[in-house]
Structure 1
Amino acid sequence: MSRIIKIPYGKHSSQFGVLRIPDSKEPSRIIVLIHGGFWQSKYDLEENNPIAEDLTSRGYATWNIEYRRVGEEGGGWTGTFNDVIDAINYLSKLNKAYNLDLAKIDIIGHSAGGHLALWAVSRTSPVHSELNFNKLNVPIKKVLSLAGVTDLNNMWEYHEERGMKSVVAALMGGSPKEVGERYKVASPIELLPMSTHHVLVHGELDQHVPVELSKDYYLKAIEKGCYVNLVVLPNVEHFKIIDPSSIAWESVIDIVLDKEKPS
């Protein structure tokens, strides 16, 4: 039987994580989960409950984190970003009490969570200190971006071309033309190269985050000499990739087990 514990890492009601721990005497390998929902407060970490349960059943501890989102006090620029850093760093306060192996931390982020996961590990030290970004203090072994928003500029343009209200602008506090400097320090494709091994997994049928974002990021990352893999899944849409009953999820598990096969 696994244990499930809700633990705050800050004072705001959205600054908490849910830790699931497998029944094991050995230190548990930990996987951080970052949910999507285009950074909006109407979506929360419950999206990741099924994959958290699946991973824990396979012997992994999971730290499913919540964070302040657009629509909440302190959410958006820059609170959302710092909350993710703080939540990951909080593992250093949990490892002894819950027997976690901090030498083997992976991060899985879906959609907007993929953006936040890639952004977080690209920051080994504060950049543009006036933006008050916190520093990531725990080592990350691998990052999995599942249908991740790897390029905020292109995601904004994708919405604009379709006459959609830009959720990217809501996160960033403006368009790329209005707050361009913010996009340069918040968009993963602008922050390459990254030293951490990372894997991009994307379904070809994704209508929410186009697969071209992952493909373009991958090509630039390869040019920059990054340790990066791309796995494109045919006949897979945006949410199937986090469905534990799907073949797509088995592809993600292969990556967790270091069995990924690049496209």
Structure 2
Amino acid sequence: MTESNGSAAPERNKQMPDKEIADWEKRFRAPRVSLPDWAEDTPDRSLFVSNATGTYELYAWDRSTGEQRQVTNRPNGTTDGVLSPDGAWIWWFDDKDGDEFGVWRRQPFTGGGDELAVPGLDASYPAGLALGRDGRTAVVGRSTDDEGTTIHLARLGESGADTVEIYRHRESAGVGDLSHDGSLIAVEHTEHGDAMHSALRVLRPDGTAVAELDDTKDGTEELGLEILGFAPVDGDSRLLIGHQRRGRWEPLVWDVVTREETDLALELPGDVSAEWYPDGSGLLIVHSHEARSEMFRYDLATRALEEIATPAGSVSGATARPDGSVEYLWSSAAEPSAVRSTTGRVVLDPPGMKSPGSVPVEDVWVEGPGGRIHALVQKPAGASGPLPTVFDIHGGPTWHDSDAFAAGPAAWVDHGYAVIRVNYRGSTGYGRAWTDALKHRVGLIELEDIAAVREWAVGSGLADPDRLILTGGSWGGYLTLLGLGTQPDAWTLGIAAVPVADYVTAYHDEMEALKAMDRTLLGGTPEEVPERYEASSPLTYVDQVKAPVYISAGVNDPRCPIRQIDNYVKRLEARGAVHEVYRYDAGHGSLVVDERIKQVRLELDFAERNLPR
């Protein structure tokens, strides 16, 4: 057994010439940017995230002058930031070393010192933020173990903040949006106890209710709602929301004053999200189906749906600009991400090293115990099987892998491995029934689908059955440890990053919002349904693990806390099982490029030393 602790200290000289850096490492080091957010009333002012310094931080961008300025500079990075509608302030969330527990601070867009954004509010986990166009109103959501979720309306002034609590409940909730004129506040909540399916409430600034919408009361099915945003027009009480009434996510427009609902009834087979065009006349539609996406403009007056041309691949974010153009973040498995515009130009092209591409992804459909399973396959160009194969399992679980650029899988391909990513039951993008299927037999259902794809991979001649790696991060790390114990003869080795390892201890130590999710998934607390937690916990099966195990974990992680990982490792140690553990000073993953490269290098090395030749 090997155990080490790590920091984010650079492993190599950043001035090293590009030609001396391997392609897999260049993909992590190459500067990249997020889709820029822009100020509603000052659209030349934008905010984006970049890793240009080697750590992901917030950057201000004045489009009128071209000037870009780094806003935050913290050892473990910063990605949670919001630009005020007037463009005057940048709000950013300040936690401690990635533990996600902290306070909002703000800084002038033009630069200057940071200040506590809402004096008087104690540190908490964030539960949404909405800023008013008047420059002094903020709706702040907070989550703590003691109070549950609280939402506060703050009026900011030169002498401090006048803050009033307008919402409180033990179950999870969050701020959705603040109307254009500041008179309405939309909240998503799970007061009914189902953390996977939210209901909606619209409040006045004094906390009194204006309207309620709750599809969970259907009586026959569990349906969820989500807030997509108020119409960007003064006095307009239309709220754009997402619903699941036809078995998938679709948008509708709800007038929260008249209660009128305008169902768009889009004939698109996958999940559909939307946001307003700046004048409120139409909607920007992003349609995700079978691991790829496309965009449309929907005219609310004519109900016409017009496609916006994009290359084949995935749109991971899009926004309509005041001039009618659309900016979007696009990539494919073969081509790195770029912020593009329907004007035909690249919006942001960071200077410096360019990321190498990778190989395209191939689609595979496999019949499984719960229906057809979609898997995405990459393999070295020109290679034929059987190959050492990595099953790279996504987190969430309510997420999905797509035809999008990912440096991690590309690194495995560079080293001669085939990579298979499985959109198991629980994944999004394949309908509500597929996403909701994993309840109560948590982990075990997902592993049935992974096993079906494994059987296909070996039977087709792609995968070498003696060189199979099960790996993933977060929920994927959890499934890795659970799979090594429940399918001990199926896997040659396992690599788990920030995993759930001991479900009971994880429940008691994790942040409150995740406790609510676990109660939904498993039907109660560990005390109420102990048999379900036992059946779904990797710790239950640790003595059956045969494969070498590598585990990495952030010591400040509030989602998959370190104590429950330590419990699992102690059991491996007691058995003398082959395993290695790497702990690092961050939370649920790292925002530091050198640290991430170090982790990938350790994983590749572990596989090289423990996989049969």
Instruction: Report the TM-score, using the length of structure 1 for normalisation.
Output: 0.78
Alignment of 1:97-112 (within 5 A): 97=460, 99-112=462-475
Aligned residue type for 2:423: E
Unaligned runs of 5+ in 1: 125-135
* Residue 54 of structure 1: aligned partner: 411
Give distance in 2, aligned partners of 1:75 and 1:151: 19
Partner residue in 2 for 1:185: 535
Answer with 1 or 2: which has the greater Rg: 2
- Counterpart check, 1:87 vs 2:450: yes
Aligned with 1:36 (options 383, 395, 414) = 395
Structure 2 distance, partners of 1:106, 1:6, is 20
| Poorly superposed stretches of 4+, deviation over 6 Å | 11-14, 241-244
Distance in 1 between the 2:592 and 2:470 partners? 14
Say if 2:439 is the partner of 1:76.
Answer: yes
Q: Encode CA deviations 1:60-85: one digit per residue, 9 max, x unaligned.
A: 10111111228624232227522323
Which of residues 373, 378, 384 is equivalent to 1:15? 373
List per-residue Cα deviations over 1:67-117 (Å, max 9, x = no partner). 122862423222752232332342332335453212100111211111111
Tell me, yes or no, if structure 1 residue 198 matches structure 2 residue 554. Answer: no
* Alignment map for 1:1-263 (pairs within 5 Å): 2-10=359-367, 15-23=373-381, 24-25=383-384, 27-37=386-396, 39=397, 41=398, 43-46=399-402, 49-69=406-426, 72-78=435-441, 81-95=444-458, 97=460, 99-124=462-487, 139-159=490-510, 162=512, 165-193=515-543, 194-233=545-584, 235-240=585-590, 246-258=597-609
Flag the 1:242–1:150 CA change in 2: closer, same or farther, 3 A: farther
Partners of 1:75 and 1:156 in 2: how far apart? 18
String of CA shifts for 1:107-164, please: whole Å, max 9, x gaps.
Answer: 112111111111122124xxxxxxxxxxx7x62110111111001111211237x576
Deviation at 1:236, TM superposition (A): 3.9
**1:68/1:83 contact within 8 Å kept:** yes
CA drift of 1:191 comes to 1.9
2:439 and 2:522 in contact (8 A); partners too: yes
Hey, which of these two has a bigger chunk of strand by percent?
2
Identical-residue share of aligned pairs (%): 17
Distance 1:49 1:108 in 2: 15
Match of 1:133 in 2: none
**1:51/1:242 contact within 8 Å kept:** no
Q: By percentage of residues, which structure has more helix?
A: 1
Q: Which amino acid counterpart does residue 213 of structure 1 have in structure 2? A: Q
Gaps of 5+ in 2: 1-357
For residues 120 and 25 of structure 1, the distance between their equivalents in structure 2, rounded to whole angstroms, comes to 27
| CA gap 1:102/1:33 in 2 versus in 1, 3 angstroms | same
Q: Secondary structure at the match of 2:490?
A: coil
Residue 222 (structure 1) shift: 1.3
SS at match of 1:15: strand
After superposing the two structures, state which structure 1 stretch, 173-182 or 197-206, moved more: 197-206
Say which is worse superposed, 46-55 or 241-250, in terms of deviation.
241-250
Question: Kindly tell me: are residues 164 and 102 of structure 1, through their superposed partners in 2, closer, same or farther at Cα, counting changes over 3 Å?
Answer: closer
CA distance in 2, matches of 1:190, 1:139: 18
Q: Which moved more, 1:197-206 or 1:2-11?
A: 2-11
* RMSD over aligned Cα atoms: 3.1
